């Protein structure tokens, strides 16, 4: 894994104030929406999904209002509209764990099982068909990813996988895990690579959110038919790494 860049970004009063207001909003809105989703447990899945979408739409609106942070997406035409796919996404921030739902839907994601234990928010998340794995048991986690991933894909849900396994700071690189590519190989569903620079504005393990525009690039479909998982993984990783260089160059130039 390469070393991350050292940020020279300075936080001013607006950054502290906006981040504080957003934090307060997240705490209270998560409680309210969590209760609403739990209360609608016996409703059809699409209805519970829509309740969660309302929360995400409001969260991203508040993120822009309080922190001056928005996003732009390039490559939306690469998202299939008639079938599901596996999204292999760069992982820099908490931002992508919620924001991708705005333009890749319906979807589920691979996540840590421990997140489902968070009161209200985690309990509600458990009703939205996540693929929750125990990272301490890698063999069982891989089996769960493949078994549940195939089921979700066949149900028409996009499956979002962060192949780096953890949030990686801007400028750093971590070897991709093979789980998402193995899911593609065994299911026959295609892979779509996705790159973004959310970590530049919503850094990992940071309370502060900085103003700016997160750039998202969605790559072309990578077929999984008659391919080995390592080849699928290598193709997706190469595209994402190249796209990240382009995003960094555009950010510096702009």
Q: Is the pLDDT of residue 148 over 80?
A: yes
Tell me, what's the pLDDT at 135? 81
Q: Which residue has the tokens 């997240």?
A: 26
CATH superfamily, domain 70-253, is Glycerol-3-phosphate (1)-acyltransferase (3.40.1130.10)
Q: How confident is the model at residue 3 (pLDDT cuts 50, 70, 90)?
A: low
What are the φ/ψ torsions at residue 85 (nearest 5 degrees)?
A: -160, 170
Q: Where are the domains of the chain?
A: 70-253
In the structure encoding, which two tokens stand for residue 195, read together?
């790159």
Mapped onto helix, strand or coil, the DSSP state of residue 153 is helix
Highest mean pLDDT among 34-43, 67-76, 244-253: 67-76
Residue from 123, 125, 111, 118 nearest 56 by CA: 125
């Amino acid at each position: 894994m390469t070393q991350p860049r050292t940020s020279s970004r300075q936080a001013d009063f607006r950054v502290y104030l906006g981040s504080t207001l957003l934090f307060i909003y997240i705490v209270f809105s998560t409680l309210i929406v969590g209760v609403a989703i739990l209360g609608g447990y016996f409703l059809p899945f699409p209805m519970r999904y829509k309740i969660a979408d309302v929360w995400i739409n409001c969260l991203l609106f508040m993120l822009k209002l309080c922190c001056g942070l928005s996003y732009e997406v390039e490559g939306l035409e690469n998202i299939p509209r008639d079938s599901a796919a596996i999204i292999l996404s760069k992982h820099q921030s908490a931002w992508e764990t919620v924001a991708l739902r705005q333009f890749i839907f319906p979807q589920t994601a691979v996540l840590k099982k421990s997140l489902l234990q968070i009161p209200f928010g985690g309990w509600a998340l458990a009703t939205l068909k996540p693929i929750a794995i125990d990272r301490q048991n890698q063999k069982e986690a891989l089996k769960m990813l493949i078994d549940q991933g195939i089921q979700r894909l066949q149900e028409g849900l996009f499956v979002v996988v962060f192949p780096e396994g953890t949030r990686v700071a801007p400028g750093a690189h971590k070897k991709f895990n093979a789980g998402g590519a193995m899911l593609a190989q065994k299911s026959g569903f295609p892979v779509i690579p996705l790159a973004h620079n959310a970590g530049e504005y919503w850094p990992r393990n940071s309370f502060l959110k900085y103003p700016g525009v997160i750039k998202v690039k969605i790559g072309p479909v990578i077929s999984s038919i008659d391919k080995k998982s390592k080849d699928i993984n290598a193709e997706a990783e190469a595209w994402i790494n190249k796209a990240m260089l382009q995003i960094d160059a555009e950010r510096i130039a702009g």
